[in-house]
Each structure stands twice: as structure tokens, then as C-alpha cells.
Amino acid sequence: IRMSNAGAAVGAVRLSLTSPVGTATATTCTSAQLPKLGSIPANGELAINSADLTTCFGAFTRGDVRVTVPALSDNLTAKLRIVNPGNVVTEQSLGAISDGVATIN
């Protein structure tokens, strides 16, 4: 999951895991467990990979991950990138914030 920020820094991202398959060790994750969740830097990005999700939630097999950003910003976009074992990359736009309203794909 990649969140890009074209504006001022946005802080304190939280991850939530619902409907996990396998043994999840937690269902919420903050910067206390994963320091990079402390902010999405100004004109930067926050990239969350499978190793980060394992750090947050343990060795679960599958589940739904919700990313919560504490403040609306007209400058945020989110994408999901999947790299399969054959190194084929698939990217899906998850949405953006425009004029304070979420645009969800």
C-alpha cells in the first residue's frame, strides 16, 4: 500500500485488521508498533509492505486492512501494488481526497 502526499505532513496513521484468516496477534497498529506510521511526510509517501503488516499483526494469512489517516488533505492519494512470484506488477488506485471529499475507486 502506498500513500502519496503532495502537501504538508500528515501524522498518526493507524492500521486496522478485520476478518483475519490465521493467527493474528493484534487487530490495530500504530506508530508504537511500526514507527513509520507516525506521519506521511510533506511531499513524500508512506509505503506499507507485507513485512510491515506482519510486524503489526503477526503471521495472519489473509484479512482486510483499513488505513485511517487523521486529517483530510486535498493532497493524498492511495495505491495498492502487487508483485506476484513471476515479478508481474499490478497497481490499483484506491482513491484520493479532492476538495475534502474522498474519491474511492
Q: How many helices (H) and strands (E) does the chain have?
A: 1, 10
Residue 101 has a pLDDT of 54
DSSP of 35-71 = GGGGEE-TTEEEE--HHHHHHHH-SEEEEEEEEE-SS
Residue 72 has a pLDDT of 65
Full-model pTM: 0.81
List the grid coordinates of 24. 493474528
Q: What separation in angstroms does the CA of 50 have from each of 8, 80, 97? A: 27, 12, 25
Q: What is the pLDDT along the chain (105 residues), one digit of tens a residue?
A: 999 998 889 888 999 999 999 889 999 999 999 999 999 999 999 999 999 999 999 999 889 999 988 876 678 888 888 888 888 888 888 766 555 555 555
Residue 92 has a pLDDT of 83
In the block, residue with C-alpha cell 488533505: 73
Residue 58 has a pLDDT of 95
As a whole number of angstroms, the distance between CA 83 and CA 85 comes to 7
